[in-house]
Amino acid sequence: MKNFFSRYKYILGIIVSIVFLYLALKDVDYPKLLLYFGSENIDMVLYVFLVNIVLRFIIALRWHKMLNIFPSNRLITTFHYTNIGYFANNFLPARLGDIIKSYLLAKKYNYNKTQVFTSAVIERIFDLLGLSVLFIIAVLRYEIPQDILNGGLIFIGILFAASIVVILILKKSDSIDLKLQSNSKYKWVNFIKDKLDTILRYLKKYLNFKDLSYLIITTAFIWFFYVLAGSIIIERLGGYRSWDASILSLIFLGISFVLPSTPGNVGVHQFACVLAFAILGMDKTEAVAFSFYYQIPVIIISIVLGLVSIYYEGFSVKGISEASKEVKTEGSNEVG
């Protein structure tokens, strides 16, 4: 079954995207949809582009903080590899941006691969915490479908439990260090111990009030700008500013990322926005227009900045697409 999904994941992604795009566009008022894309909305598109560029810079700032364990790393370098990651997510299948950006950064600058990858994982954890806060806000304000409510509460519970486990591990890090330093006759056991020791040392570096506050504040700004971009679009399309629809759209988009789809999340993105607008009793045609206005600037920025960063760092598009294969091969060699 694993080989089946690995072999046909791209085809499955295309099928899923087509199905959800069909569901999103079904019963849409197409003449009305076309009116939403008039020339009078060009300035709104520029605002959304500007918000997303600022957002990309803040995302790079947050990751740069998590990479300051490498003193020689520069902010411009972090920015370029952030762009490379988003390019991979929006141009290549399987959404491997975090893996690719971490692998290429560590490989080119000879950084510890485990620590760089851990920094990318911590990024996603903070994003999940931000999404969880939005979900709690949504639960307090709206009638969320029961299945989604149950799933969201289970997810938040797991995230909270995992956070407690990490904190407890860090509190007992001295005794754990002694156990990790002992050698085993099995190579794979020593491999795992070495990786765990590297991760533990990395996490201890950032377990302080100053760094955690910085990461929390930048994450709050990131999600604020996500919501702001959506509210700007809704204000223009509907004539009113709705933070509610923007928040719900982000929640459904966050959930949708567990599904296979085409690069850029086309189709799944549109259907997620339709669901969010439906909860608020808002127009489906407006939801579809919103989804494209929200999605297209992100894709364009990701491709343009990604191409600039790829060639600035001395890579090629083909090299980026092959990086995920190199990661799998290198990981197998390390364990073997």
318 — pLDDT class (breaks 50, 70, 90): confident
Does 330 score more than 80 pLDDT? no
The structure's pTM equals 0.88
Among 19-28, 92-101, 144-153, 169-178, the range scoring the smallest mean pLDDT is 169-178
User: What is the model's pLDDT at position 185?
Assistant: 60
Burial call 10-46: b when 16+ CB within 10 Å, e when fewer: eebbbebbeebbeebbeebeeeebeebeeeebeeebe
Distance CA 196, CA 184 (A): 14
Percent of the chain with pLDDT over 90: 40
pLDDT, mean of residues 61-76: 94
Long-range own/partner contacts, residues 18-26 (CB < 8 A, 24 or more apart): 18/267, 19/267, 20/261, 20/267, 20/268, 20/270, 20/271, 21/266, 21/267, 21/270, 21/271, 22/267, 23/271, 23/274, 24/267, 24/270, 24/271, 24/273, 24/274, 24/287, 24/288, 24/291, 25/270, 25/288
| 8-state DSSP, 235 | H
